Amino acid sequence: MRIVKKHRFNAQVTALELGYGIIGRPLMNVYCYLIGGTLIDCGQARMAEEMKSFASAHRINQLLLTHHHEDHSGNAAMIAKVCSAAVMGHPVTVHKMTHIRPILPYQHLVWGQSREVSVSPLPALVASDGFCFLPIHTPGHSKDHTVYLEMQNGWLFSGDLYLGERIKFFRSDEKIDQQIQSLKTMLQYDFEALFCGHNPILKNGRDRLRRKLAYLEEIAGQVRFLLARGLPEREIIRRLDRRQDRFVKLVTLGNASFANMVRSAIQAT
């Protein structure tokens, strides 16, 4: 199943929602946001033709990547070519997008492989078409994760910083302590709309981030408590696991699981 939906959130923000499912509904849809001539993230390579049609119908001068993961960067090379658009990202994104590494089988099936593309390091501010985007490094989900705050309108283009208030799983390389700090960092800023890469929230965005922060701190606190009692990793996972991630854990062969969240909390102690 392929899902292609165009959303007009307000007079200035347009989103393309893309979903690809091998059998049945997609595992997770992706949102790419267009503001003036600026595109933030560009979706999965599995939906290249749909993104190409969207790009051809709009004026895109620049592409800002929140991070290098293939569901956010999968069409960057195509956008650069079709639109002659400048691609920008964090210095780690610059390296990752010019040194593409193999991805796991499920990532190939669900998202597709990104292609190498030249990426320029982000300036302190990105101004275009009367909009001003402040790039803020927010590691934890990935080393290069960066959000973009449009300060004049209170819009936060948050990539994968949010996803949901009580997320069910972590990728194997995610860092809970860094995510907690990144959430605290963003709560120092003023914004209303949370333009998430998978779950846009148009109102009370700061409250949503605050609730996610409380949830991650709760998990980390429970792990510290059980560690202090001398429990081993396996028993801590058994006690805290709500068994809500079984399908994702199976499909990803354990690369995404609740156990990874617990392991990250243990490593952070």
- CA 157, CA 137: separation in Å to the nearest integer? 12
Count of residues for the chain?
269
pLDDT tens track for 72-103? 999 999 999 999 999 999 999 999 999 999 99
pLDDT tens track for 124-159? 999 999 999 999 999 999 999 999 999 999 999 999
Return the domain boundaries, the chain.
Answer: 2-164+175-204
User: Is pLDDT at 22 greater than 90 in this prediction?
Assistant: no
Average pLDDT for residues 210-235, to the nearest whole number? 97
What's the pLDDT score for residue 244?
Answer: 87
Specify the CATH number for 2-164+175-204; select among 2.60.40.1120, 3.60.15.10, 3.40.630.30, 3.40.630.10: 3.60.15.10
pLDDT tens track for 177-210? 999 999 999 999 999 999 999 999 999 999 999 9
Instruction: Select from 253, 245, 232 the least CA-distant residue to 106.
Output: 253
pTM of the model: 0.97
- Degrees (nearest 5) of the Cα angle 81, 83, 89? 75
- Asked if residue 87 lies in contact with residue 76, where contact means CB atoms within 8 angstroms, the answer is yes
Alpha helices in 171-257 (DSSP H): 176-186, 205-228, 233-240, 246-251
